[in-house]
Amino acid sequence: MAVRRHVERIVSEPILTPSARISAAIEILDDILARRRPAADALKDWGLAHRFAGSGDRAAIASLVYDGLRRRASAAFVMGAETGRAVTIGMLRLQRGLAEPTIASLFDGARFAPEPLTDEERTRLKQGSLGNAPPEVAGDAPAFVLPSLEAAFGDALAEELRALGRRAPLDIRVNALKQTREAAAAALADLGAAPTPLSPLGLRVPTGEDGRGPALHVDPLFLEGGFEIQDEGSQLASLLAGAKAGETLVDLCAGGGGKALALASLTGNGARLIATDADPRRLAPIHERLRRSGAEVEVRTPRTGKARADVLADLDGTVDRVLIDAPCTGTGTWRRNPDAKWRLRPGSLANRVAEQAEVLDRAARLVRPGGTLVYVTCSVLPEENDAAVDGLLARSGGAIASVATDLSVVPGLSEKIRRTGRGVQMSPALTGTDGFYVATMTRTS
């Protein structure tokens, strides 16, 4: 307990005034908007050029920048310009709910503070509204995906986009290999950790007004493998995979291992679990996470270049259950990664759709007759979800069939989740989670 409190104090020591932090955020947003730079790169560069800033300052500035990106289109609409300054002012009003006098007091022109508000900015703050904004502006989404979002959400479009524009909660998954959720909640009581609404292994840790949470990655319980930081939606997708002890399971797109660790924990290390990923660099962090968590997973790292070979060839036609946590546009994670929505291009959606067909075809060859395929994305776009499943069903000529995903493993989920043609869709508005899609299939012959 004492260790955790001490760590928090160190990381949140403020050096910059709130106004100076806003000036920094404006500068960084200008860099992102004008040079189309990834937010993480622009923030890193600012940090390198301003080494005196404390980690608390950096976190607060990052929070301002990410809130600005969440409301980039709507804030620019209200303020009549798409500059770092306009987006920041509009965001303080729309996202943080600050009134015009409070914003004016932050923009006081003092040393390191932004220039005072102009008359036009004051008027726009008082009178500006999103009443006549087009849906993609009011909902802060790129215009080219609007037809797909409309197809996904129908009449709920505006509400769903609003929810995707809010901040994500800070969720952890308790590692059942180490302790119960109750024991973890007791150990994290000083952080206010409380059970998440749906996942039986989830705890939610309160964040501050600016969205910042405690430094969980240096928490003693985390370092002992007691929990992983994982959105409740990702936890639910792992549960819906239906893994059972005694099965041979493949996590085909394991990445850093978020779901592989969850599957090992859910089966009490009772399954033979094999994890791989096309990209060895994405897979690399899994080793340290396995060591910490006590999860037993056979990791198969592919070679690249000339020695490249299929590391799963020996398993073809034998696997009981394959999890395909497919590469996707991540449209369901816009709350967490608002930069991604403005970096999304039609070409990247087409590339992800092609990769999805590739991983689905590979998974279909792995599964034994009667075995199960579980296809997961963190996207809400039908092209990456039902259409991808339809594609595999058609290509398989009847060998792969769609089956209902068993929702009974998560009490209360069935009433909240949306059924699509082939699977189920979670979303911030429906389930309070990231936008995960899950579809289940079986090999008939």
Annotated binding-site residues for S-adenosyl-L-methionine read 277, 325
Region binding ligand SAM by CB under 6 A among candidate stretches 116-124, 277-285, 337-345, 391-399: 277-285
Q: Which of 128, 139, 169, 327 binds ligand SAM (CB under 6 A)?
A: 327
Q: Which of 113, 359, 389, 438 binds ligand SAM (CB under 6 A)?
A: 359
Here the tokens at position 185 are: 């909640």
Here the tokens at position 160 are: 């769903």
Nearer to ligand SAM, 84 or 338 (CB): 338
Q: Which of 64, 278, 363, 364 binds ligand SAM (CB under 6 A)?
A: 278
Residue of 62, 378, 392, 438 with catalytic role: 378
Residue 299, beta-bridge partner list: 275
Nearer to ligand SAM, 9 or 281 (CB): 281
Nearer to ligand SAM, 53 or 278 (CB): 278
Q: Where are the alpha helices (DSSP H) in 168-296?
A: 181-187, 220-223, 232-240, 258-266, 280-283, 286-293
The answer to whether 253 contacts ligand SAM (rule: CB under 6 A) is yes
Region binding ligand SAM by CB under 6 A among candidate stretches 114-122, 249-257, 343-351, 398-406: 249-257
Distance of CA 197 to the CA centre of its chain: 18
Amino acid present at 21 = R
The answer to whether 282 contacts ligand SAM (rule: CB under 6 A) is yes
Q: Based on C-alpha coordinates, what's the Rg of the chain? A: 23
Query: Cα(149)–Cα(142) distance, rounded to whole angstroms?
Result: 10
Number of residues that bind ligand SAM (CB under 6 A): 17
Q: Where are the alpha helices (DSSP H) in 82-194?
A: 84-94, 100-106, 119-127, 135-138, 146-153, 157-164, 181-187
The answer to whether 288 contacts ligand SAM (rule: CB under 6 A) is no
Query: Cα(277)–Cα(48) distance, rounded to whole angstroms?
Result: 33
CB of residue 302 to ligand SAM, shortest distance in Å: 8
CB of residue 277 to ligand SAM, shortest distance in Å: 5
Residue with tokens 């493993």, as numbered in its chain: 409
Q: Is 328 annotated as catalytic?
A: no
Here the tokens at position 193 are: 């950790």
SS3 251: strand
Nearer to ligand SAM, 258 or 338 (CB): 258
The answer to whether 121 contacts ligand SAM (rule: CB under 6 A) is no
Q: Which residues are catalytic?
A: 378
